Structure 1
Amino acid sequence: MCDERTDKDAEAWFRSAGINRRDFGKLGLGAAVAAMLPLGARAQGLVESDVTVKTPDGEADCFFVHPEKGRYAAVIMWPDIFGMRPAFRQMGRRLAGLGYAVLVVNPYYRTMKGQLVPDDATVIGPELRKEIFPKAREQAGTLSPATCVTDGRAFVKYLDRQPSVDTGRKIGTAGYCMTGSYTFRLAADMPERIGAGASFHGGGLVTDREDSPHRLVPEIGAGFLVAIAENDDERYPEAKSKLREAFENSGAQAEIEVYDNAMHGWCPPDSMAYNREQAERAWSRMQLLFEKHLA
């Protein structure tokens, strides 16, 4: 969960990983992420566009990208607390290059169109983070479990109308940081449509509330990946056990793992906590999850 403690951990990692960050700065965010793609994915033509999705609460500005030809399983990608930005568009392109129709969403559309992070920000470093984090937390406070579900239903409805989406295949969903829990909520709300969920350094997956995400597992039919940051696990060591117990009791398939030396926020390439080795490992596990459950 994003707070002052994880912020300090992320900055410490950022300071210690200066060489990796300089390499990203030289390449530029787009080139750096593209360099991670297998040759086949880079060679495949993609179609991308900024789209508007109607929801019960208004119109969500989103980014939609898919292979140029054919019909594919769809994936909803929810960004972390810093919202829609170049890093997540690049992650969407990367996933689309593997053969998916990907909708990257702006969860803050009710109160903010566009993005908090400037287009030219290669990394959300200490100064930029200090500037935008209060705004991000304010925006995050406008969301709730209910808005996650109503938005998710609208995104599924939008995707199912697209010619590039194979409606005979189930939809995947991936969430980062605060939206890790969204993957649970949407999978529980639409078990007939959601086939796979991936949560990366997701916050609030196990709480004392009646609507805690881990309590929704019996309603989930999707395969799941829950990738946990090492410092999140240090603060909430019981969470992984409760998640494993919930999935084992329900019979649903789940891979739940703490990623060593990975700080909260380690997956997006513009994060201060970005850990390329572990981010690539998490990405490969998501790829296998989607290949298995969205076939």
Structure 2
Amino acid sequence: MKQDIEINTDDGVAKASLFRPDNGASAERGVILYMDAMGPRPSLYGMAQRLANSGYTVLLPDLFYRFGDYGPFNGNAFGDPASREAIMTMLRGTTQDMTKRDSAAFLDALTAAGAEGPVGTVGYCMGGGRALTAAAIYTDRIAAAASFHGGNLASDAEDSPHRLAADIKARVYVGVAGVDNSFPPEQSARLAEALRVGGVDHIIENYVGMAHGWTVPDHGVYDETGAERHWKRLLNLFGETLS
């Protein structure tokens, strides 16, 4: 069941959607789903609902709320030059630090919705780094963090998530596209080293043959077999940690 809400943040009001199990069961375990660069839309709503139906209260916030109304975009929006430019403008203008601060309000929204226990985070594309960063900051709430085809998880940028690895107390899973220019092998190696040295319980798994975006149904590169493998890993992670 989907419920549209508004969340007050330090910078304004973020639109978001809460998802609860379709069978009406209460779900005290919470998850924040950090969107990809095309923003909240039917394909992500479906993913959030599938996760909710496994026994979670899921929050899907609009990370681009500072830009007001935009789109709508779909998974193939990067193929259109005008859409790509609009998306990149919002992506550049929504920093890791902004989402890091917003995540305090996101966690409060889950608590208000009845999810008062340990929280999981999962992010796709740009959301992957946000999920890991949140886990490093809100260690008292976030028990598991997952990234799928996340970009720039271990870049040279000052706000690269790998720099916070030593602060993460959550269990971490990173699903990597077989070929992904936004997360090349050298970054994967850097992230693995940072997590290992930081003492983080983690797995980095390479999905050979999958392209960036393979998990999201409205992407042209969507792969059903690879997506189901991702669901198995994600539900196992949360099932083992959010009890």
**Which interval holds the TM-score relative to the shorter structure?**
over 0.9
Matches of 1:227 and 1:71 in 2, distance apart?
26
Report the AA paired with residue 54 of structure 1.
N
Post-superposition shift, 1:131? 4.6
1:84–1:115 contact (8 Å) kept in structure 2 = no
Q: Which residue is 1:32 aligned to?
A: none
Unpaired segments of 5 or more residues in structure 2?
Answer: none
What SS does the corresponding residue of 1:143 show, helix, strand or coil? Answer: coil
1:85–1:115 contact (8 Å) kept in structure 2 = no
State the Cα deviation string for residues 122-175 of structure 1 (Å, max 9, x = none).
x63776x44522211111121012101111111001111123x2x1x2111111
2:97–2:159 contact (8 Å) kept in structure 1 = no
Find 1:74's aligned residue among 30, 34, 44: 30
Q: Which residue is 1:58 aligned to?
A: 12
State the Cα deviation string for residues 15-70 of structure 1 (Å, max 9, x = none).
xxxxxxxxxxxxxxxxxxxxxxxxxxxxxxxx321111111111111111112232
2:30–2:56 contact (8 Å) kept in structure 1 = yes
Bigger Rg over Cα: 1
Unpaired segments of 5 or more residues in structure 1?
Answer: 1-46
Q: Which residue is 1:89 aligned to?
A: 45
Report the AA paired with residue 90 of structure 1.
G
Find 2:105's aligned residue among 154, 170, 184: 154
What SS does the corresponding residue of 2:212 show, helix, strand or coil? Answer: coil
Q: Does 1:216 align with 2:155?
A: no
- Decide which structure has greater strand share: 2
Post-superposition shift, 1:235? 6.8
- The alignment's TM-score, normalised by the length of structure 2, stands at 0.93
Q: Does 1:274 align with 2:228?
A: no
**Residues 83 and 231 of structure 1: is their aligned pair in 2 closer, same or farther, counting only changes over 3 Å?**
same
What SS does the corresponding residue of 2:13 show, helix, strand or coil? Answer: strand
1:82–1:136 contact (8 Å) kept in structure 2 = yes
RMSD of the TM alignment (CA)?
A: 1.9
- The alignment's TM-score, normalised by the length of structure 1, stands at 0.77
Post-superposition shift, 1:211? 3.0
Post-superposition shift, 1:233? 6.8
**Residues 245 and 65 of structure 1: is their aligned pair in 2 closer, same or farther, counting only changes over 3 Å?**
same
Matches of 2:151 and 2:214 in 1, distance apart?
13
Post-superposition shift, 1:115? 4.5
Find 2:202's aligned residue among 251, 254, 257: 254
Alignment length, in residue pairs? 241
Q: Which residue is 1:11 aligned to?
A: none
Q: Which residue is 1:12 aligned to?
A: none
**What fraction of aligned residue pairs are identical, expressed as a percent?**
34
Which residues in structure 2 correspond to 1:100-179 (within 5 Å)?
A: 100-113=56-69, 115-117=71-73, 124=76, 129-163=80-114, 165=115, 167=116, 169-179=117-127
**Residues 160 and 126 of structure 1: is their aligned pair in 2 closer, same or farther, counting only changes over 3 Å?**
closer
